[in-house]
Chain A
Amino acid sequence: MDISTIWNGLIINPMVNTLLGIYAVLIRMFGPENMFGIAIIIFTILIRLVTYPLTMSQMKSARAMQDMQKSKKWQDIQKKYKDNREKLSQEQMALYKEMGISPFGSCLPTLIQFPLIIGLYQAIIRALAVTPSQLLDLANHIYPFINGAALIPLNNLFLWMNLSQPERLYIFGFGVPFLAILVVISTYIQSKLMTPPPQPGEQGAQMAQAMNLYMPFLMGWLAYSFPSGLALYFVTSNVVGIMQSAAMGKVNWRNLIPALPKGASPKTK
């Protein structure tokens, strides 16, 4: 069994069929107009809910790591072993253990989510099937209990967008990549709101700041270049992510609007 068979069997096929299943229910209830866009939105919310424990674990780990770096004990260790990197590293690991922090706790959930993002992207593209090869491929992956013949072709129009094409909103003859702009803004807001305020001299603060700057443009570029079904997923995912964090009280409004009073930031403990 090769890697693509496993990838298709475990990730892509369940996603494609779930997406088609949601679409089938929606068109039965409301008719086909705009329903594939709605299906993508519902599907994205489902994925965010499924990966919610991972998101939580990532945020908790990041915060615990930040607490550790602020702790007097860590600062003392740093001072004590500033000329002995090996010993510093050993002490750091010991402190991780003592404080119950996994060094991979904040990046592992992200790594697990990454295949899901790629899978979801592929699922959207596969479901749209705009060429004969793609359609043939889709036909081979639809589960028997989904009536694929009745669903195809999917209605890929959503509001002003063709979800199988990169999106442009034409205003006075100019094609404005509205959704790509929304992706940049929402990614920026999400990363700002969910990043803890940097501490003076904190290791990684610069990294986080750089990430906050580069990531929105990367996502925006993807949204600009690829079918708008993907951009719709990005925007929905960002909005749901912000809402999830806000509901958990983990949003740093002061990161976005520094003039806000201190109470607008979440408690670190």
Chain B
Amino acid sequence: MKSNKYILLTTIILAAFLLSACGGNVGTASSWAGLFADTENAYVAFNQHVYSINLANGTEKWRFPTEIQGQRTYYAAPTLTADGQLIVGDYSNTLHSLNPDTGAEIWSYTGATDRYVGSALSARDRIYAPNAGNELYTLDKSGNLQWQFSSEGPLWAKPVTEDSCECIYIPSMDHHLYAIDAQTGVQKWMTDELGGSLVGTPALSPEGVLYVGTFGSQLVAVDSNNGSILWTTPTTDWVWGGPILQGGILYFGDLGGSLYAVDARTGNIRWQKTPDGPITESPLVTKDTIYITTETGGLIALDLNGTVRWSKSFEGIKLHTSPVEAGDKILVAATGKPELLYAFDTSGNQLWAFTPETKK
């Protein structure tokens, strides 16, 4: 009978383990890398660390935190402020300011109630940090809360701003785009229901038009003066990443794998291509090339007419993060392999790959 008891106990512990394992990263972190680069360094937020990587040779300069801190994880792309602070939020409800040269923490803000999924915006000596707990936190350069704005849904997208009206535009998963007074946090307007959640950063034209993609499978143009909808263009699937505006054309992808070039004035589709697999985040658009990453592990370079110039396929990995241009390099963050960051030249030749060293 004693042995039966042991069998029973083992079974229960096994069942608990199985159920725990099935939960995976439930309630904790689960996302792809956040990537930002200046002329000398790339900053990658992924899993338990933020890494600073030397662009010249792909070596690690520092990591934050130096030791893993429990369940604390980082996925939002870091933001560099004008006064030289690297701002990054984590999945344990804390926003950190780091010294970009050393990775030392300058201050942290712990007043949020949920995780930071989207990047912060730095403008006018303020830091505007969207939070999954439906709040936009606005801090001064020392990390003191100035005001906070509440929407009806999680805020996953980096806000944009406009100097002429001192506005902050923030897309929300509650299906609305908001304009907020940058000084006071008072809402100026909100759009009508846009048919689905908004998680990509809007593009803002010099003429004052905001362009944003929605899970309602459409691209929407919004008048930044009053929030009225100017036009909508249907897409084949959910639009996750924000559009990139260049030369009067909006470039963006959708989860159905289509890449679009849309006339910013009329909303007419100039061309639509389906290069390879779902496109999650925004493309990188340089003066003559569009770079996209796909969930099926493709890095594809196209000309501005949508003709493929070259492509790379990464077997067994998913590419969700937008490619980033850093000088003459194209940076691509990957998930699913030990290599976290790849650097390519503009012809698609790999220059280096960065693999975080596992600290013992």
Which among B13-21, B49-57, B162-170 touches the partner chain?
B13-21
In the bound complex, CA of A118 to CA of B19 (Å)? 6
Chain A residues, CB < 8 A from B216: 149-150
Asked if B9 contacts A152 (CB within 8 A), the reply is no
Asked if B32 contacts A214 (CB within 8 A), the reply is no
Asked if B26 contacts A206 (CB within 8 A), the reply is no
Asked if A210 contacts B8 (CB within 8 A), the reply is yes
Looking at the assembled complex, report how far the CB atom of B77 sits from the nearest CB atom of chain A, in whole angstroms: 12
Asked whether A218 and B8 contact (CB < 8 A) given A134-B30, A206-B1, the answer is no
Contact of B255 with A by CB under 8 A: yes
In the bound complex, CA of A215 to CA of B15 (Å)? 11
Asked if B18 contacts A132 (CB within 8 A), the reply is no
Asked if A153 contacts B217 (CB within 8 A), the reply is no
Q: Per-position contact with A for B10-46: 1 when CB-CB < 8 Å, else 0?
A: 0010011011101101110111100000000000000
Looking at the assembled complex, report how far the CB atom of A259 sits from the nearest CB atom of chain B, in whole angstroms: 29
Chain B residues, CB < 8 A from A166: 27
Asked if A214 contacts B19 (CB within 8 A), the reply is no
Chain A residues, CB < 8 A from B197: 149, 152-153
Name the contact of A152 in the complex, choosing from B32, B132, B215 (C-beta under 8 A).
B215
Chain B residues, CB < 8 A from A225: 20
Closest to B156 in A: A132
Asked if A153 contacts B154 (CB within 8 A), the reply is yes
In the bound complex, CA of A218 to CA of B9 (Å)? 11
Contact of B327 with A by CB under 8 A: no
Chain A residues, CB < 8 A from B22: 118, 121-122
Name the contact of B12 in the complex, choosing from A122, A132, A153, A218 (C-beta under 8 A).
A218
- Most central of A114, A118, A215, A227 by chain B CB within 10 Å: A118
Asked if B12 contacts A215 (CB within 8 A), the reply is yes
Closest to B118 in A: A132
In the bound complex, CA of A207 to CA of B2 (Å)? 9
Looking at the assembled complex, report how far the CB atom of A40 sits from the nearest CB atom of chain B, in whole angstroms: 15
- Taking CB atoms and an 8 Å cut-off, the chain B residues in 177-217 that contact chain A are 195-197, 199, 214-217
Chain B residues, CB < 8 A from A136: 240, 255, 280, 295, 320
Asked if A207 contacts B4 (CB within 8 A), the reply is yes
Name the contact of A133 in the complex, choosing from B18, B32, B215, B255 (C-beta under 8 A).
B32
B interface SS class: loop
Asked if B16 contacts A139 (CB within 8 A), the reply is no
Chain B residues, CB < 8 A from A134: 30
Chain A residues, CB < 8 A from B320: 132, 136
Q: Per-position contact with B for A198-225: 1 when CB-CB < 8 Å, else 0?
A: 0000001011001100110010011001
Closest to A149 in B: B196
Asked whether A131 and B9 contact (CB < 8 A) given A149-B197, A207-B4, the answer is no
Chain A residues, CB < 8 A from B75: 132
Asked if A221 contacts B4 (CB within 8 A), the reply is no
Asked whether A214 and B9 contact (CB < 8 A) given A164-B27, A221-B16, the answer is yes
Looking at the assembled complex, report how far the CB atom of A148 sits from the nearest CB atom of chain B, in whole angstroms: 8
Chain A residues, CB < 8 A from B18: 118
* Residue count of chain A within 8 Å CB distance of chain B: 34
Contact of B86 with A by CB under 8 A: no
Chain B residues, CB < 8 A from A149: 195-197, 214-217, 238
Chain A residues, CB < 8 A from B16: 218, 221-222
A interface SS class: helix
Name the contact of A131 in the complex, choosing from B8, B30, B255 (C-beta under 8 A).
B30
- Most central of B19, B117, B173, B196 by chain A CB within 10 Å: B19
Name the contact of B153 in the complex, choosing from A133, A150, A153 (C-beta under 8 A).
A153
Chain A residues, CB < 8 A from B4: 204, 206-207
Q: Per-position contact with A for B141-153: 1 when CB-CB < 8 Å, else 0?
A: 0000000000001
Q: Per-position contact with A for B247-276: 1 when CB-CB < 8 Å, else 0?
A: 000000001000000000000000000000
Contact of A165 with B by CB under 8 A: yes
Contact of A143 with B by CB under 8 A: no
Contact of B5 with A by CB under 8 A: yes
Asked if A139 contacts B26 (CB within 8 A), the reply is no
Contact of A226 with B by CB under 8 A: yes
Contact of A65 with B by CB under 8 A: no
Looking at the assembled complex, report how far the CB atom of A10 sits from the nearest CB atom of chain B, in whole angstroms: 15
Chain B residues, CB < 8 A from A214: 8-9, 12
Asked if A133 contacts B30 (CB within 8 A), the reply is yes
Closest to A214 in B: B12
Looking at the assembled complex, report how far the CB atom of B55 sits from the nearest CB atom of chain A, in whole angstroms: 26
Looking at the assembled complex, report how far the CB atom of A141 sits from the nearest CB atom of chain B, in whole angstroms: 12
Looking at the assembled complex, report how far the CB atom of B175 sits from the nearest CB atom of chain A, in whole angstroms: 8
Chain B residues, CB < 8 A from A164: 27
In the bound complex, CA of A218 to CA of B132 (Å)? 31
In the bound complex, CA of A221 to CA of B25 (Å)? 17
Asked if A130 contacts B19 (CB within 8 A), the reply is no
- Taking CB atoms and an 8 Å cut-off, the chain A residues in 167-207 that contact chain B are 204, 206-207
In the bound complex, CA of A114 to CA of B12 (Å)? 12
Contact of A64 with B by CB under 8 A: no
In the bound complex, CA of A227 to CA of B32 (Å)? 22
Asked if B5 contacts A131 (CB within 8 A), the reply is no
The 3 closest A-B pairs by CB, nearest first: A149-B196, A131-B30, A149-B215
Instruction: Beyond the given A132-B156, A133-B31, please list 12 additional residue pairs across the A-B interface where CB-CB is below 8 A.
Output: A117-B19, A118-B19, A131-B115, A139-B255, A149-B217, A153-B153, A164-B27, A204-B4, A207-B4, A210-B5, A214-B8, A226-B26
A-B contact pairs, 5 of them (CB 8 A): A132-B32, A132-B156, A134-B30, A152-B197, A210-B5
Interface residues of chain B, those whose CB is within 8 Å of chain A, are: 1, 4-5, 8-9, 12, 15-16, 18-20, 22-23, 25-27, 29-32, 75, 91, 115, 117, 132, 153-154, 156, 173-174, 195-197, 199, 214-217, 238, 240, 255, 280, 295, 320
